[in-house]
Amino acid sequence: MTALTKKQNTKNLTLFALTWPIFIEMSLHMLMGMVDTFMLSQYSDEAVAAVGVANQIINMTNILFNFVAMGTSILVAQAIGASDMDRAHRVAGTSLVLNLFIGIALSIILLLINEPALRLIGIEEALLPLGKSYLGIIGGFMFIQSLLLTMSAVLKSHGYTRDTMNITLVMNIISVIGNYIVIFGPFGLPVLGVTGVAIVTVICRIIALISMTVLLYRKVKLPFIREIFRPVKKLVVDLLKIGVPSASENLAFNLMNIVMTGFIATIGTAALVTRVYTMNLLWFVMLLSLSVGQGTQILVARMVGAGQIEPAYKRGLRSLYIGMTSSFIMAVIFNLIGEPLFRIFTDDPEVVALGLMILKISIILEAGRAFNIILIASLRAVGDVQFPVYMAIISMWGICVPLGYLLGLHFGLGLFGIFIAFTVDEWTRGLCMLWRWRRRKWMRDLLFRASQANNRASSADA
């Protein structure tokens, strides 16, 4: 393969071309959740609560699917960068089979033990029938979600982020129409409530699965039959080497948030409500960093696959600058229009005042979060997946949780103190990620592995 061919593999995509569809897609996913919650609230508060509890279990299963999906995204992008489409197809086929098996296993488990699982996380007895109905249907078809996450990772690594965005848009439209029908029962149709919402969700996922399968066949030219029946054991190991640490970091983050939410709950209802409303606003800032991070991960992985190590290093730093600057500007804008935004959710003056105070901290917080999201994505793309996990455990559980307790509860700073702890955690990890990236240990490791591969190739030729 010529150097020119390698260069073309990484130059035919720009960060902006990758990022804006990812941002829209993530925003649509979030809006779909908010619309579902709003429509269910018109049916009953009990339905909202039951679905909320069931979704905690569903979200944990999604983390397990991401063990494979995260590794898939990086390995496929690296193979494309190296112009090795056969390996890209083998990675895609192996990951689809692996996640399908995981999905089927979890679907069976959720069908069999959905009631004990709901009881384990403390669902109220009155909500149990609704929770069982929802979790039984969604959980029984979780294998579809496992395939969707994997297919989406493959398509995005090939640069088809606009296509996945369009599929999400269609899913949203069908979901809103379907939920309206099953919740409000227009034209004399039966009102199905929570059960109907679950059925609509499954139908949307089936439509998305069919759409992504067609895209993989037509655009990616993935030979499904051949690849599905030749999963490679070594690729399974490679996928899990990247995916397990990456998803473990997300798991550590989610568990920390559960503990911190417990702290906030002891402060009072106003603090808990303020946190919910504030995070609804800040999600749009976070989504910007997340989309830049995903786009950067694809580009850096392609560059590494093409052997363009120094450009990959510079790409990570340029993306960091873009992400931090954009997050800072958006956080400032949210501060300027914060009061009318909070008034959309509530007229409680205590909640509005506290929320505006938290938004001020978010200017610093979100810049630090961009550090983490973008540089961790870059480190994953080059195979340096262990360091972010170690730092997540040390900083989240060694700094954020104790500091949150001390400032928020012990010294009585309340939600303000909790968010100071979040900010310290994000900046601590962010600066450590910058140090790791600039130290270039990952670069030396890549060059060493490339040298070994060349030596083996030379020995084979001899």
Tens digits of residue pLDDT in 367-377: 999 989 999 99
Instruction: List, for residues 185-223, the tens digit of each pLDDT value.
Output: 888 888 888 899 999 999 999 999 999 999 998 888 877
d(CA 55, CA 66): 16
Residues 6, 158, 311: CA angle, nearest 5 degrees: 40
Instruction: List, for residues 145-179, the tens digit of each pLDDT value.
Output: 999 999 999 999 999 999 999 999 999 899 999 99
Residue 453 in tokens: 């591969």
Confidence of residue 229 (pLDDT cuts 50, 70, 90): low
Give Cα 168 distance to the centre of its chain: 15
Query: Do the beta carbons of residue 161 and residue 218 sit within 8 Å?
Result: no
- Arithmetic mean of pLDDT, 228-248: 78
d(CA 291, CA 159): 13
Q: Please give the sequence-ordered ranges of beta strands (E in DSSP) within 67-194, or none if there are none.
A: none
Number of other CB atoms surrounding residue 457 within 10 Å? 10
Query: Do the beta carbons of residue 261 and residue 295 sit within 8 Å?
Result: no
Q: 55, 284, 38: which is closest to 175 by C-alpha?
A: 38
Task: Read off the pTM.
Answer: 0.85
Confidence of residue 2 (pLDDT cuts 50, 70, 90): very low
Sign of the alpha-carbon dihedral angle for 300, 304, 308, 312: positive
Percent of the chain with pLDDT over 90: 45
Query: Do the beta carbons of residue 381 and residue 74 sit within 8 Å?
Result: yes
Residue 310 in tokens: 């120094």
Number of other CB atoms surrounding residue 171 within 10 Å? 21
Residue 11 in tokens: 């130059």
Query: Do the beta carbons of residue 346 and residue 409 sit within 8 Å?
Result: no
What does residue 412 show for φ and ψ, rounded to 5 degrees? 70, 25
Instruction: List, for residues 102-124, the tens digit of each pLDDT value.
Output: 999 999 999 998 889 888 777 77
Residue 444 in tokens: 């030396």
Residue 296 in tokens: 């950067």
Q: 102, 106, 127: which is closest to 115 by C-alpha?
A: 127
Instruction: List, for residues 285-339, the tens digit of each pLDDT value.
Output: 898 999 999 999 999 999 998 888 899 999 999 999 999 999 999 999 999 998 9
d(CA 394, CA 402): 11
* Alpha helix (H) residue ranges in 3-44: 3-11, 15-43
Residues 31, 37, 38: CA angle, nearest 5 degrees: 90
Average pLDDT, the chain: 86
d(CA 375, CA 431): 10
Number of other CB atoms surrounding residue 311 within 10 Å? 17
d(CA 196, CA 130): 11
pLDDT at residue 293, as a whole number: 94
Sign of the alpha-carbon dihedral angle for 72, 73, 76, 78: negative
pLDDT at residue 317, as a whole number: 95
d(CA 241, CA 411): 42
What does residue 268 show for φ and ψ, rounded to 5 degrees? 145, 165
- Please count the helices (runs of H) and the strands (runs of E) in the chain: 18, 0
In what helix (H) or strand (E) does residue 320 lie, and over which residues does it extend? helix 309-336
Among 31-45, 50-64, 265-279, the range scoring the smallest mean pLDDT is 31-45
- Arithmetic mean of pLDDT, 257-267: 83
> Does the structure show a pLDDT above 70 at 447?
no
d(CA 419, CA 359): 10
Q: 411, 407, 439: which is closest to 422 by C-alpha?
A: 407
Distances (CA, A) of 224 to 74, 104, 214, 220, 432: 20, 19, 11, 11, 42
